[in-house]
Amino acid sequence: MDRLWGAGLAVLLVAIVFVLMWIGWQRRVRRDASSLPPGLRTDVEIGQVIGSWRGLYVATSERANVLERIAAPGLAFRAQATLVLGETGVVFDLRGERPTMIPLNRINGLTTSHLTIDKVVERGGLTVIDWQLPAEVGMRAVSSFFRMSSTDRDSFFETYAHLISTATKETS
């Protein structure tokens, strides 16, 4: 009989922990739902498509805190993804989510990393897009992490650099 009470208490404690985790995640989703204004989501025109690359979207986090996931719609969950680079921006097209478009003028740069929230890989194994949220949501600097082959990563970096250098020459 004592074992039954002990087992019941253990099950109850585990259930309470799961409920608290679920409540915490729901609060994070509500908090981050306003992190991306509608202009950065869905069917924004990116101009001519310059290239696309497949990989695994890992997470988006504040740059100052890579272990704190942003749970905004379209960026909350890990998923197979296609990165589409266009004349005016980059689209994160995650399987099962609406595409998220980041205008080129919000992108601060591309780098590599070996870790982010719940993912550690070899050095340089994650492709990182550093970008800025708009002023209406606080101008926070964020980083989006993708896992792709080194060939695709190099191709993406080269194509992006060429696009930026071309755009800089045209505005000069």
Tokens 């109850």 correspond to what residue?
12
- Statement: residue 9 has pLDDT above 60: yes
Whole-number Å distance between alpha carbons of 74 and 59: 10
Q: Examine the pLDDT at 38 and tell me if it is beyond 70.
A: no
In a shared domain, residues 129 and 84: yes
Where in the chain does DSSP place strands (E)?
49-62, 65-69, 79-86, 89-94, 100-103, 107-113, 115-116, 119-120, 126-132, 141-147
What integer is the mean pLDDT of 130-145? 80
Q: Are residues 2 and 54 in the same domain?
A: no
Domain of 44 in residue numbering reads as 38-171
Q: Stretch 6-24: mean pLDDT, rounded?
A: 88
- What's the average model confidence in pLDDT over 110-130? 89
Mean pLDDT for 56-83 is: 86
What CATH code is carried by the domain that includes residue 165? Answer: 2.30.29.30
- Count: domains in the chain: 2
| Residue 59 pLDDT exceeds 80 | yes
pTM of the shown model: 0.77
Q: Are residues 84 and 116 in the same domain?
A: yes
* In contact, 59 and 67? CB cutoff 8 Å: no
Mark whether 3 and 46 lie in a shared domain: no
